[in-house]
Amino acid sequence: MRVFFNSGNSLPGVVKVQTEDVIVLTLDDGATYQYPMSDIRAVVVDSLRRVRLSDKRVLKAYLLHETADKLVFIDPLGAVVQYDKQSVSRQVGVVDPATSYQPVMLHLSFKGSVGSQPLPPVVGGAVEGDFAIGYRDVRRRHYFVGLGVGYDYRFNASTSQQLLPLFARMEYYFHPDRVWSPFFGVDAGYAFKLKGVHQGGALCNLSLGIQRQVGVKHQTFFVALFFKAQQCATRVSETISDEVFYRDGHVSLLNAGLRLGFTL
């Protein structure tokens, strides 16, 4: 059984009570909630179907009701569609995507940013691509935890730096059952030097953005703002009494920008 809301999201569970005014729903994890019927678009007991139309299009949807000559469906994102019976050539039951999530998720993302290093003061830009693979919480779908690798290219007026970041990623999705959901993410790891004046060092990346579902299996497209702090070992110069001295030290690379990507 699945309850669809006017907001576009839906929840699987068992309807305990349903009146003209309220509905009481018990979820798979045992939690029970009460909602006003004015917020409910539909309640379906049908399993998800693969519907083949006479024009060879394929629709994945739940059957709401049928008449002598019409079939009314609701798709996993809450859109209600109606077809003449003669236009439907075949219906095959399929597994509900809400309970058939694969535990493995793949993240692909691209970043563009501006940044600086405080000492010595330098302002420049950066572009980065990365992918991460990991586990998503199958039942509640609020969390993703995984490992990733990327390529980080930084540049300014006088020099450039290429780094290979390896990181752990955790993301939290506030409303995973809705079409649109804000999310918060943290990356932490270490970047190795590929080319440039600085050596590798620890990194931390914070992201805040929004994702949109674009498929029945809940593939998503996302956009986010991010802030990244990267520490690198380097040779630090100091001028004392007009003489330049060098020592081993660290420099902090700070960047803020835009992150775009999708999940599979």
pLDDT at site 120: 63
Residues 91 and 116 in one domain: no
Cα maximum dimension of the chain: 96
User: How many domains, in total, are found in the chain?
Assistant: 2
DSSP string, 205-217: EEEEEEEEE-STT
* Res. 253: pLDDT tops 70: yes
Give 56's DSSP letter.
S
d(CA 212, CA 220): 5
Residues 113 and 65 in one domain: no
* Res. 20: pLDDT tops 80: yes
* Amino acid letter for position 207: S
Over residues 67-118, the pLDDT tens digits come to 888 888 888 888 888 888 888 876 666 555 554 456 678 889 999 888 776 6
Q: CATH no. for residue 192?
A: 2.40.160.20
Range of the domain at 17: 2-98
The residue out of 70, 98, 126 marking a domain boundary is 98
The residue out of 65, 98, 131 marking a domain boundary is 98
* Amino acid letter for position 231: Q
Which of 59-73, 159-173, 237-251 has the lowest average pLDDT?
237-251
pLDDT at site 165: 96
Residues 139 and 254 in one domain: yes
CB-based contact 18:38 (threshold 8 Å): no
Over residues 130-153, the pLDDT tens digits come to 999 998 765 556 889 999 999 999
Residues 26 and 71 in one domain: yes
Give 47's DSSP letter.
P
Within a 10 A sphere around the Cβ of 248, how many other Cβ atoms? Answer: 9
Q: Which of 152, 107, 111, 114 lies closest to 131, judged by CA?
A: 107
Residues 58 and 119 in one domain: no
